[in-house]
């Protein structure tokens, strides 16, 4: 008997967005209830914005999240609107990373180099900031007003 376990892999160019709450682990050690409240607040603001900007929320990664968009403009706009919406909450300091790259879509999850790069640039953002790769910057620079600090050769 032959069983074919091969599942076709779907590849797409996608704008991948990672988020992470700065200081979450320390807050969890200090006061779990406060940490969980911050996480719930982040998710309640972020998920509707992702949908509003034509994105897909993939999963939670502890205090972080992974989502993707079919457009770098939509991803960058969502990231900017998210940071603006939580700006006045001094306890909720979120870093965001956005990358545009080749992505593998499989079984409701996303993987690949594009996802890896997005996850690695997110910690480069300041708490309450956004870090984008040059691929995203080149896609959005003429479409969005961005106040950016360029970091070359990261």
Q: Is the pLDDT assigned to residue 124 strictly greater than 60?
A: yes
Q: What is the pLDDT of residue 123?
A: 93
- CB half-sphere exposure, 47, CA atoms < 13 A: 9
Which range has the worst mean pLDDT, 2-11, 57-66, 91-100, 131-140?
2-11
**What pLDDT score was predicted for residue 9?**
80
Residue with structure tokens 């409701």?
108
Residues contacting residue 48 through CB under 8 Å, at least 6 positions apart: none
153 pLDDT exceeds 50?
no
Instruction: Report strand pairing: 130-132 vs 55-61.
Output: unpaired
Beta carbons within 8 Å of 45's beta carbon, 6+ residues apart = 82, 85, 86
> Radius of gyration over alpha carbons of the chain, in Å?
16
pLDDT for 4 beyond 70: no
For residue range 83-95, what is the model confidence (pLDDT) as tens digits? 999 999 988 999 9
């Amino acid at each position: 008997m032959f069983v074919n376990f091969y599942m076709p892999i779907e590849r797409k160019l996608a704008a991948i967005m990672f988020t992470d709450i700065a200081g979450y682990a320390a807050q969890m050690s200090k006061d779990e209830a406060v940490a969980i409240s911050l996480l719930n607040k982040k998710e309640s603001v972020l998920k509707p914005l992702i949908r509003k900007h034509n994105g897909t929320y993939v999963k939670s990664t502890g205090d972080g999240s992974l989502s993707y968009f079919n457009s770098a403009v939509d991803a960058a706009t969502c990231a900017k609107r998210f940071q603006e919406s939580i700006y006045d909450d001094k306890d909720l300091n979120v870093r965001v990373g956005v990358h545009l790259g080749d992505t593998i879509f499989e079984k409701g999850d996303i993987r690949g180099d594009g996802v890896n790069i997005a996850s690695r640039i997110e910690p480069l953002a300041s708490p309450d900031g956004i870090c984008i790769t040059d691929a995203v910057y080149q896609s959005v620079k003429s479409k969005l007003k961005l106040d950016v600090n360029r970091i070359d050769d990261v």
